[in-house]
Structure 1
Amino acid sequence: MNSVKSPNIKAVFFDIDGTLISLKTKVIPESTQNAIKNLREKGIKVIVATGRSINDLNHIKHIEFDGFLTFNGGYCMTIDGQVMFKQTIHPEDIKNLINHSEKSSVSFSLMYEDKVRISHESPQVLELYTHVNIPVPPLYDKETLDIENVLQVNVFIEPENEVSFMKQVMPNSLSSRWTSLFADVNPGGISKQKGVEYFCEHFNIDVTETMAFGDGGNDISMLKFVEIGVAMGNAGDNVKEIADFVTEEVDNHGVEAALIHFGLLD
């Protein structure tokens, strides 16, 4: 792969599942780990950009990053623990979700700053937590349920039902997805793009000096916004279509290959 002259990139944002972590092996390829280390040695900020909770990052804790964009931009934190931004879902949407779930077969996960609770252990819920290699969370207790501080919801609905569900049940929120299994639901106006904006402001970096990697629908806003948006080879077609560059799959050293292509690695 021939390299091209790169803009003056000062920050690179990385999705986790399917980008840093292989969905097949559940680990980060050694080539990717070395690439991240080399970027930071060059003074380039490396920031996680994920739909995961801030407390579901154990799989990447052995790697040094400069910040964490979590809950799809709803919770942004620097490496030293400074919370730059936090936005919860409108409580009325959570009420509607619970009422809807009690009348239907829809299951969901409620994600907080310090915990996750699930509606019930449906096959779809169990598949999700196996998929991302995280223990299945406890069931929520309706008597003590906190509806004020939910940062993100995973709703297990089919893609074809997503638009009508959001309009009827959670109208104050925004949905996106990286799998057909479920939709990520975040506060209206929240996206990975917004998270990138917060980090650019924090580090005094212009968006023309940014690059991002992703593979799912929840990465689209980020990949379109940064100067160089890279879709992994394992990404969906909707992600590849909007990307500036499509690299190899995560298991075929896609991160390293793209960084070499753009001249960020030797």
Structure 2
Amino acid sequence: MIKLAAFDVDGTLRERDYLPDSTRTALQKLKENGVALALCTGRSEFEVKSLREELGIDWAITCNGSHVGYRGETVFGSTFPAETVRGWLREAERSGHGLILYGAELMYTNRRDNPYFAQAQQEIGFMEPVLLQSMDEVPDIYQAIVFCGEHEEAAYTAGGKDLYYLHRWRPWAIDINPGGMNKAVGLQRLLDHLGISSEEVAAFGDGLNDYEMIESVGYGIAMGNAGDELKEKARFVTKPMMEDGIAYAVNEWIVK
């Protein structure tokens, strides 16, 4: 029996501001059948707050697993050392790169005029970040996005997978999370907290940062619009998001 369903956001629950009515109905059906819901996304708590509240979802695993919140309040979190963040800010200033830094309640940036941020905002949508005024007062940061090419990332990722979890989602943009973190780790923190086993969980995703999450649960479900690499790891492959993929999976495999 499935006790919790976890959902990636972009390309899984919604595409930009479009969320199928069938998905809303499917989520309500899960709740009526006693299934708890959680968002599990690379975005920040700040960015998914309105979606979480609109859908009546209490739990959000954000920042690729580095932050777990209940109704917007931090329950678990893994942050970067403040000096690491200061070093990135110095490097970004030297190199002219743009940074997005995810806190628990706000998104921060070192510059507002970065063309790659504008491109990302146009392609997938981003809320406006707050300009970080001082390197001396670095807030708790759970995830960083660096707008740079792969040949430039070493200045930010020295130590690689030993120190960081890396997810390059565009040739010009990379997510950086604290080492050992990914969506599966954040989800497991939540499951331990709720006393739910991974075999009692369904997880939906479409991107490479969903890989570990899909593989770690009893019902790993890849969207039809996912890449072949993720589909190969999933227990089930549903229809694309735009073709009522969430509703199809819920009705076919979870709540019959």
Name the residue aligned to 2:66: 74
Q: Does 1:99 align with 2:90?
A: yes
* TM-score, with structure 1 as normaliser: 0.86
| Aligned with 1:123 (options 115, 126, 130) | 115
Structure 2 equivalent of residue 216 of structure 1: 207
Q: Residue 136 of structure 1: CA displacement? A: 2.6
Tell me whether 1:22 sits opposite 2:15 in the alignment: yes
Structure 1 residue runs without a partner (length 5+)? 1-7
Q: Distance in 1 between matches of 2:244 and 2:168?
A: 24
How far residue 45 of structure 1 moved from its aligned partner, in angstroms, is 0.9
The 1:170/1:205 distance shift into structure 2, 3 A limit, reads: closer
TM-score scaled to structure 2, two decimals? 0.89
Deviations 1:120-154 (A, max 9, x none): 2212111222334333323322x355335111111
2:126 — aligned with what? 134
Listed one character per residue, the Cα deviations across residues 53-105 of structure 1 (whole Å, up to 9, x for unaligned) are: 111122443111141111111111224x5532011112232133222212324
| 1:39 alignment counterpart | 30
Aligned length: 254
What is the distance in 1 between the residues matched to 2:146 and 2:255?
39
Matches of 2:5 and 2:162 in 1, distance apart?
33
Tell me the secondary structure at the aligned position of residue 38 of structure 1.
helix
Which of 86, 106, 110 is the aligned partner of 2:101?
A: 110
Moved more, 28-37 or 234-243: 234-243
**Is contact 2:203–2:219 with CA below 8 Å preserved after alignment?**
yes
Judge conservation of contact 1:193–1:221 (CA < 8 Å) in 2: yes
Q: Distance in 1 between matches of 2:160 and 2:87?
A: 6
**Higher mean displacement: 34-43 or 213-222:** 213-222
The CA distance in 1 between the partners of 2:32 and 2:91, in whole Å, is 50
The answer for unaligned runs of 5 or more in structure 2 is none
Q: What residue identity is the alignment partner of 2:222?
A: A
Moved more, 124-133 or 106-115: 124-133
Of 38-47 and 125-134, deviating more is: 125-134
| Aligned match of 2:255 | 265
